[in-house]
Structure 1
């Protein structure tokens, strides 16, 4: 991977997290070119410190081995139009924009039958604890998939799928999923207040409980089901709460509806 020439377009939250991860892992800064006309100042300072080549446009930039575009979906089309000189029949274009299909990503580069990987990370990538799901078009080689996996591992776990249609469900589970967890912490804190706890204490308890349980699950070899069962004593307090949450119209059905709604919206957005 260290020999690859990489061009990163956009160093906002996601692109910046990836760049920081690469540099922290010891990737050669001279192998990286960044294109961003207005990078956040902390990112500009970091790039200057490490000697990363920062450009305001693709003008004068030679085609890289991997072109990774990390811009918002709303401006993806305009950005891709300015990158036509960087895409050829041999390199690979990677997008981390939600709701932008492989066909949409390929449209500006149809003259060269581009190799494209569509990737869906999530916001815990900002602390290198995310998960990114990838799907490639037919031209991408196994070596390119491996190289992109290595790059994306800087922000967390990487998984691959073969059917792009599954990306809508991926969006509903992991792409939007962090918001569900944050809302769980909100709801748990409010429930504590309703039960009589002071607001600040209840918020502290809820946030520490959610983050701690997540850390335990990440570090344990046990399944979420087994971890839940381990903390549930027969006829105890946790069982009483779970009988409410796991009722026929409870949390599982509500989550199923939530994920379905997110997946449906993702499909609608990808169709424009």
Structure 2
């Protein structure tokens, strides 16, 4: 009685792990986002799926979750796979995991390919701290509000996007985050036509319409975080930083100067906050 979330290749079938191959052939139930793509993957891997195959996608996951929980409670091993990457990361899976945890059912995962981590690794942007933001909102107003709220986010940000919305999303990012913000557009990662375009948001906005056939394939956008001077510091935060500096034994004046230098905030603003 165990639910297994298995990462599937994001491009090349031979990136599949040996454990994924083994479980595809041995699991009692294989729940797949797209059963046809599952069939192609199994064929590419030379695996015969002997368990029951059931579809589990955004349109039916709420209805199908109780059935899979029943299978698990009956002692079955249920393997959950999506079209590419790790289930539940911008893919179906969260509802089933939450229900399994609630039912005290063991949940584990088979690690493997991830578009998020692959894009981060090749982006050339800082990867020590990052946030995954999923797909940007489709509506322009909501999209602008989301990007506006992220304008001072200092972590590197990763987004998924569809090819036909990529240009509009990049333009909205440039407006909200600044056209000089560094970014990388990663498409068709690990596939034959893999491409990584690096530059400022303004440069990427100009790059998209220059493509003869437009942007094609799966798109992952990696956006640099805000530099420290772009962060909005609250007065109590600045005051606490000044106090920390002064506790080291330096004067109040020198502490103000040190905080101003490290945060990019004007010295007068830091002084007013500290006093």
TM-score (norm 2): 0.32
More strand by share: 2
Greater C-alpha radius of gyration: 2
- The answer to which structure, 1 or 2, has the higher relative contact order (CA under 8 A, 6+ apart) is 2
More helix by share: 1
